[in-house]
């Protein structure tokens, strides 16, 4: 019984800590925050080089050349920004959702609330004990009886 309460509490805590970080509305702005190498963007036409600080739109394609890197920042109303990093030769579609469950504040530090909540959940789920049933070990047969 106690293990069930601990698991339920852990699940509720996990949902309470992680869901707000994941439940993001449309971003107010999506901005190319950093870029190295050849980074180009297209809104359906030809690709054109893009400067750091350019506001990107949902549905645009971003193409990175070999050795290129880009960081895109998503700014949500009333929340710290969330960043996604892209690397290597590929074409990416900019969507309205930051894929990371952990947001970063303006100084680049990871917010510890979600990580701390996950550590607490892990500690609670790993502990427990004290259920009403004794541990039953499986019977191992060593041959015919």
Are 8 and 63 members of one domain?
Answer: no
d(CA 99, CA 105): 16
pLDDT digits (tens, 9 = 90+) for 15-72: 444 444 445 478 999 999 999 999 999 999 999 999 999 999 999 999 999 999 999 9
Residue 138 lies inside a defined structural domain of this protein: no
d(CA 65, CA 89): 5
Residue 32 lies inside a defined structural domain of this protein: yes
Structural domain boundaries, residue 68: 25-97
Token match 């510890």: residue?
112
pLDDT digits (tens, 9 = 90+) for 83-121: 999 998 999 999 988 875 443 443 333 343 344 444 444
Are 19 and 34 members of one domain?
Answer: no
Could you give the residue ranges of the DSSP H alpha helices within the chain?
Answer: 2-22, 112-126
Residue 52: phi and psi, rounded to 5, are -60, 140
Are 124 and 62 members of one domain?
Answer: no
């Amino acid at each position: 019984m106690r293990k069930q309460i601990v698991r339920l509490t852990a699940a509720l805590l996990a949902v309470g800590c992680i869901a707000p970080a994941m439940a993001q509305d449309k971003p107010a702005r999506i901005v190319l925050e950093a870029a190295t190498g050849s980074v180009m963007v297209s809104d359906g036409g030809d690709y054109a080089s893009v400067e750091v600080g350019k506001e990107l739109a949902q549905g645009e394609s971003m193409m990175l050349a070999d050795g290129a890197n880009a960081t895109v920042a998503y700014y949500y109303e009333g929340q710290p920004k969330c960043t996604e990093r892209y690397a290597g030769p590929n074409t990416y579609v900019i969507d309205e959702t930051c894929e990371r469950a952990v947001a970063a504040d303006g100084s680049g530090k990871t917010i510890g609330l979600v990580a701390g909540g996950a550590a607490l959940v892990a500690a609670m789920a790993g502990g427990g004990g004290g259920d009403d049933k004794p541990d039953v070990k499986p019977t191992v047969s060593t041959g015919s009886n």
